[in-house]
Amino acid sequence: MGLETILLLGALMFLAALLYASVGHAGASGYLAAMALFGVAPLVMKPTALLLNVLVASIASLKYLRAGCFSRELFWPVALAAVPMAFLGGLVTLPPAAYKPMLGVVLLYSAWRFLARPVPESAEVQRPALPWLLMAGAGIGLLSGLTGVGGGIFLSPLALFLAWGRVREVSGVAALFILVNSLAGLAGFFTRHGVVVPEGFPLWAAAVVAGGWLGAELGSRRLQVATLQKVLAAVLVVAGGKMLLAV
């Protein structure tokens, strides 16, 4: 891989980290899309995206927790169910043709609903029963391990549309959820394939750390809720389009 390609990928990853971290996400689908554009080997893409996810999600988690944007009651059930399933998903490599179109349509529909019916910060929170949280966590964890994403793009719209938490609260939960999910998926992948890291990783890591820090700062403290909702809709459109175009 040439230096020019490494630098261009670094710039794209910085932008992805900034946008995604502003809503508590870590940007894996953006990193995967960027690497796909430059022909990075599939075996390298998945662990690279998860490693970058860990860096950005760590920053986002810290900032959202410090800002008081978190819910233990929502986080622990989904995380406990997701982690073992993400590990199992990391062990498996499946062809994307079956599930990427479906996920792309679901994410685009979620973005449309999010813009059509904004979720007010004062909306009444309706915590679901424990079995529903466990089932949601298990399903998202498996999808995360299989695709190489952290799961925030699945958890955030589900939690917001079902009123499981307020916007900033869900963003904080999503950040820590992505962190533990990405670590579990990495463990599964490395168990099966060993440690795989591309030559441009140090530069990309620095780029996403900078972008993730700035995005998390904006999302946790400075952006208005209405702005956060629009940004999250944009994230879902990007992620959904990427999954449809990657087929």
Domain that holds residue 62: 3-245
Q: What is the pLDDT of residue 123?
A: 58
Closest among 247, 244, 238, 234 to 105, alpha carbons compared: 244
Digit-coded pLDDT (tens) for 160-214: 878 888 888 888 899 899 999 999 999 999 998 888 888 899 999 999 999 989 8
DSSP 198-226: -TTHHHHHHHHHHHHHHHHHIIIIIS-HH
Closest among 105, 172, 181 to 143, alpha carbons compared: 181
b/e burial code for range 1-29 (CB count within 10 A of at least 16 → b): eeeeebeebbebbbbbbbbbbbbbbbbbb
Q: Check residue 187 and report its DSSP letter.
A: H
**Dihedral angle sign, alpha carbons of residues 68, 239, 51, 76:** positive
pTM of the model: 0.82
Digit-coded pLDDT (tens) for 84-111: 999 998 898 766 676 677 667 766 766 7
Task: Count structural domains, the chain.
Answer: 1
More confident residue, 221 or 142: 142
